[in-house]
Amino acid sequence: MSKNKDPDSLLNIQHNYLHARIKGLQQPKEIYNLVIDKNVESILYKTFTKDQLLRIVASVELIDSERRKNTYMTAMYLCEKTIYNLKCIMADVQTKRYKNGIALFAYQDQQINPQASEFYQEKFLKNPSVIRFFNDGANFNEMTFAYNAVETRVFLTDDKTPNSMPIYYNKNAQQFVIPQVKKVAQSLLNLVVSMEEYPFIRFYSPLQGEYEAKTLPELIADEFQQQMDDYCRINDNYPTPEVSAKTRSILLITDRTIDLYAPILHEFTYQAMAMDIVESLEKRNVFEYQSENERGEFIDAVVKLDNENDEDWVNLRHSHIIESSELIVNKITELIKNNPLMIDRSKASTSSDLMYIVAHLKGFDEERKQLTLHKTLIDKCLDINASRKLAEFAADFEQTCCAEGISFEGERNKHLHDDLIILLARDDLHINDKLRLILIYAFYRGGLIRSDFEKMIKFVGVEDKHIPGLCERCFNNVDKLGFEIFKKDLKAKPYMKQMFHTINNEGTYNTSRFTPGIKTIMQNVARYSLDRDWFPYFRDKPLDDELGTSISTGKKTSSSSSLTGANASGTVTRDSLSSSGTLRNPRIKANWANSSTSIAQSRRYGAGGGSTFPSQHKQRIYCFVAGGITYSEIRSIYELSNSLNKEFYIGSESILKPRDFLIGLQNLGDNKTLEHLDLAIVKESQQSDEIPMYLYNDGGIPKPITRPFPSQEQQINYNSSSTMTTTTTAEPRFGETSSFQQQVEQQQEMYKSAHGNVAAPSTTHLHYQKRGTKITSDGGGNGETEKALKNGSKRSKLKKLFK
């Protein structure tokens, strides 16, 4: 398994940032104990392994765990600046648990948590013992790392919000909109500052429809700009000259209303299918299966598909499921062919025996596990797809509706209503799939009258007493996302909403013609050709020479006329330039100016010197979608990064599957109160600031804690995508030990092996109001599956399901 060495990977950037800051504050011949809170714990486990952490510190413990007194160690507090955490630190000072301390607080704007800021200023900093503990106040530091890097180009604001739609679109949760917006802006600030960027800000401003959350993107843009300004005032050296020398990045802020097709369509790529239709992955984000070892024993295994170092996963996840199946079989065949002396061929007579051969292949343990995992998961996806008839029947109907009634053959289908009735009558289609199909058809038709919805729901098999409630809980809530789905009468005109998606019939499967609107929008953001009425700049705008440079270097592809001011060749016309509000001709930069900038950047980032950054820095373009992103949109971001000479990133509060979107719709109803919604942000606001009393003990060695046997899900390693067997004993998590002395000895031994022996020293709410002053103003290719099928390879029998 090869390590992901992409310098522009969010995981690597966050890892290198934390590693450099922690190591940079350490002194020789000192022993350090890293003390973290639970929010930081989830971030660390995605970017560090346990061994990597124990090479730079002697031990890692949770801030509110019962910790041993270590007066010869220096505590490094990597945590958020909350009242709870500050009280835990003050308890350590009071009990003299450590020799001294170094604070590495996550940066937080004072307005996000005013109570914590007041406690920090009035009680924490005015405590003489605390000041002495932190070297007379010299050891207070702030870091910008508080965002959750999920994949190379995907980030989330946190890992505790499975669905943020109710926070933004449910009236009963309106008092939490502003706190959530502040959290989002804080996460975005940590992201761009840690990557040394100072972006232009653009936001989605729909010109059609009236709904309460219409100004949500503008609200987030405003809060982010304020926090960025506050950060620059506090850190007067930011942005640094090096940041200013780079091509300025762009941050586009939008929300889930921008494309309502994307979250309810089934995507037929490997990653999307695994997460959408495999039950354990869909509900718990883990895959449970059985694998055979060399001794012929079947072992129960549990795995999380989040390992960016798994080369097979990274290369296959955005491929069509049929291509993924063929590629994994080819790789298994190649492995067997290249290692003939390590294989018992006596029991392998047919192609179905491949998995048996792999299981008994001596050596290659890690590679064998990964191949078994992906072959098993792909086969399971294909089996579920065949049983639910997703590709055979439902997918073609979905794609035709998104294409405004145009079939894969290029002909208009005038009988989609009949096709829908046939699909709803099928017993092998899941009830959720039937509800999805009704929604998709309603979007295509521009809305339906209520009686039509009730008839279709009854036809699906829902009892009469539940039909009105289902209409109110699910379909009626679509209006809150900016689409008037219920027509007043039969003569009412269809409601037309700009969705921004495109349809591609060339070089693709009939089940994969849909291209999400995010791809088209981000493609035009990179060319500075995005419509400024729909997507205005919040404050700063690019200069004409920046526009000219970007246009001249960008690739020319056709774009949607509704989004761009470009002509058919992709170049910006004089009219589109004049619409920016200036009559000056674009200036042309001299070649020597560009070369000098490149030299300055190469010196800054150390070309060829093993630096984290590439010698020639590409422009970075970020997209944040409030309310959730989809796997099709994630795939599009990777495709744009591979086809355009820029680095694209996408983020949100959560990743939505079709099932999540339907649940989110039902949670937007007025009958869903805060008690029913079970929101993480509500629980955080209700948490007590009182810390455990055992933190005030005398600092002696606590008694070993007898912990209950953890569940199977609790045994899953945060940072691993490799298979894990279910055993009778569980390895303790960080900060938790069944034998405290054993943990300390193990950690100190690992620290000594890395550093040598070291002697121990002594109504519409106000937050949705629009601003008073109006602001004026198909790249393709997967790239991750570059391995082509070998000539003469056997055609998959599964292709009969796809045209």
The arithmetic mean of pLDDT across residues 676-696, rounded, is 92
The arithmetic mean of pLDDT across residues 127-137, rounded, is 95
pLDDT value for 549: 54
Residue 701: is its pLDDT beyond 90? no
Strand partners, 289: 301
The arithmetic mean of pLDDT across residues 293-316, rounded, is 85
Mention every residue, 6+ apart, whose C-beta is less than 8 A from residue 730.
709, 710, 714, 715
What is the per-residue DSSP string for 615-639? SSPPPEEEEEEET-B-HHHHHHHHH
- Two structure tokens written together for 673: 């109160």
Given a contact cutoff of 8 angstroms between Cβ atoms, the answer to whether 601 and 116 are in contact is no
pLDDT value for 717: 44
Domain 10-106+108-143+699-755 and domain 151-260+514-677, same fold? Reply is yes
Contacts of residues 750-759 at CB distance under 8 Å and 24 or more positions apart, as own/partner, are 750/51, 750/54, 750/55, 751/31, 751/54, 751/55, 751/57, 751/58, 751/59, 754/54, 754/55, 754/56, 758/29, 758/30, 758/31, 759/29
CA 461 to chain centre: 37
Strand partners, 489: none
Sign of CA dihedral 505, 152, 269, 329: positive
Which superfamily does CATH assign the domain made up of 151-260+514-677 to?
Sec1/Munc18 (SM) protein, domain 2 (3.40.50.1910)
Q: How far is CA 486 from CA 220, 428, 450, 483, in A?
A: 30, 29, 6, 9
CB-neighbour burial class of residue 685 (10 A; exposed 0-12, middle 13-18, buried 19+) = exposed
Sign of CA dihedral 345, 346, 350, 355: negative
pLDDT value for 734: 47
Q: Thinking of the domain 10-106+108-143+699-755, which architecture would CATH place it in? A: 3-Layer(aba) Sandwich (3.40)
Q: What is the pLDDT of residues 163-180, one digit of tens each?
A: 999 999 999 999 999 999
The arithmetic mean of pLDDT across residues 666-679, rounded, is 91
Q: What is the pLDDT of residues 24-77, one digit of tens each?
A: 999 999 999 999 999 999 999 899 998 999 999 999 999 999 999 999 999 999
pTM of the model: 0.81
Mention every residue, 6+ apart, whose C-beta is less than 8 A from residue 53.
34, 44, 60
Please identify which residue in the block is written with the tokens 């299981």. 359
pLDDT value for 109: 87
In the predicted model, what is the mean pLDDT of the chain?
A: 80
- Two structure tokens written together for 26: 């350490």
Higher-confidence residue: 704 or 219?
219
pLDDT value for 752: 61
The arithmetic mean of pLDDT across residues 441-446, rounded, is 95
| CA-based nearest residue to 403, from 535, 523, 265, 557 | 265
Q: Where are the domains of the chain?
A: 10-106+108-143+699-755, 151-260+514-677, 270-389+787-801
Q: What is the pLDDT of residues 455-471, one digit of tens each?
A: 998 888 888 887 887 88
Q: For a pLDDT cut of 70, what percent of the chain falls above it?
A: 74
Q: What is the pLDDT of residues 631-640, one digit of tens each?
A: 999 999 999 9
The arithmetic mean of pLDDT across residues 700-723, rounded, is 46
Please identify which residue in the block is written with the tokens 């790789």. 331
